[in-house]
Amino acid sequence: MTEFDYKTCTGCSLLCEDILFPDEDSISHAKNLCRKGLAHYQALFVERTGPLIEGKEASIDQAIEKGAEILRNASAPVIYGWSNCTLEAQMAGLALAEKIGAFVDDPSSHCEGRLMEMLLSGRIPSCTLDDVRHFADTAIFWGSDPSSTQPRHLSRFSYFPRGSKRQKSYEEERTCIVVDVRESSTAKLCPTTTYRVPPGEDLQFLEALLAVLDGKIPKFGDKKRMIELGSIIKKTEYGVIFPGPGMLISLQDKMDRFEDLLRRLNEITTFKVLPVTEQYNSRGFGQLLFERTGRTKAVKFSPSGEAAAGPTLVEAAKEADAILVLGADPLLDLPAGLARAFAAAPLIVIDPRRSLTADLAQVVIPAAISGLEGGGTALRTDGVKISFEPLMKSEQPTDEQILTRIMEAI
């Protein structure tokens, strides 16, 4: 009989701890991996990068020293990425940012940053994924599609599983509601409780829902269906809203109205909020930064290490004379104008694999892949701390080790 070893998957922010491997050479025989997790583990065999300086091969010591030299001489450095690094690496990176007076930000700040600040400051109530599994009878996926971004979300926590208070089948004791601009994969599971919202009109939907909860006729959408939604919510015992980028980007500076909605919902019943973060430790960086600075995004450290609200990422990138990128590919993922600002600055990239950003970087420092070749800790999307061990050994240093060596060399 094959003996399996439990491992934690860092393919997304669910950080599933029940992944079974017969041995490190049998990734294809692993049990409980979703399609995203399998793709993540198969990344071991995707083109890896080596240490490079100005596109030429170098030793890793030379690459680290060159990266430290660029940051040492910079007057407006930026450190960007963070979400695919362990907590230990994030702490080392923030220590480096304090030392050199850097601006720091991550890819989720443009949509999840405000929500995370509201959650961490206690302005809106939250819970854990285990609470969802045990108690929630209504899950609202608003602008999020966990079937695509976190494929085991519904099966492990939010819809299909049995919990201590939800012992019957999902069709009897759980209701899944989707609010989205399109028919997402999650929406296909609950076609009768899917509400299509035109792009940019989430605020109008929110106002209509508030009207229904106050016994008024809504002025937006199908009035009958909105009233039916209000009825479902009023019968809910324990509800959870899972906001995604679609809703957060649409609301932008109108998140105070979302807070008003949560306040009204909790006057009627119990409702919590959990973000659907994508990168495995996005929550970790936001929470760590909040604990240190009171902010979850766009922080500028002074040369003395004091933190303050920074400029926008666009402004910081345009002024930057050195950008350190951690486990991200901003030239591929960011809007064209912002990507051009990144490309114009001297780039130092710490990444296990080749990327568009790495191809244009002055310095590339290869790292071990977190969760596959390097261990550590991370915060699940609900804030629960998860520790993990590497699946296999690597000759490459971890992000934490590289950042520590850069700081020592400055």
Sequential DSSP letters for 265-312: HHHHSEEEE-----STTHHHHHHHHHHHHS-SS-EEE-TTS-EEE---
- Residues in the chain predicted with pLDDT less than 50, given as ranges, are 1
Nearest residue to 136 (alpha-carbon basis) of 179, 187, 186, 170:
170
What pLDDT does residue 1 have? 39
Which residues, in sequence order, are CB contacts of 385 under 8 Å at separation 6+?
87, 377, 378, 379
Burial class (CB in 10 A: 0-12, 13-18, 19+), 308: exposed
What pLDDT does residue 39 have? 87
Q: pLDDT of 49-99, one tens digit each?
A: 999 999 999 999 999 999 999 999 999 999 999 999 999 999 999 999 999
**SS3 at position 181:** coil
CA atoms lying within 13 Å on the CB side of residue 221: 27
Element at 213 (helix H, strand E): helix 202-213
- Cα–Cα distance between 192 and 175 in angstroms, integer? 11
- Cα–Cα distance between 210 and 150 in angstroms, integer? 29
Q: For the chain, which domains are there?
A: 5-42 (no CATH), 49-108+280-409 (3.40.50.740), 113-273 (3.40.228.10)
The answer to whether 284 and 90 are in contact (CB under 8 A) is: yes
Nearest residue to 28 (alpha-carbon basis) of 187, 20, 18:
20
Give the global pTM. Answer: 0.92
The pair of structure tokens assigned to 139 is 């899950």
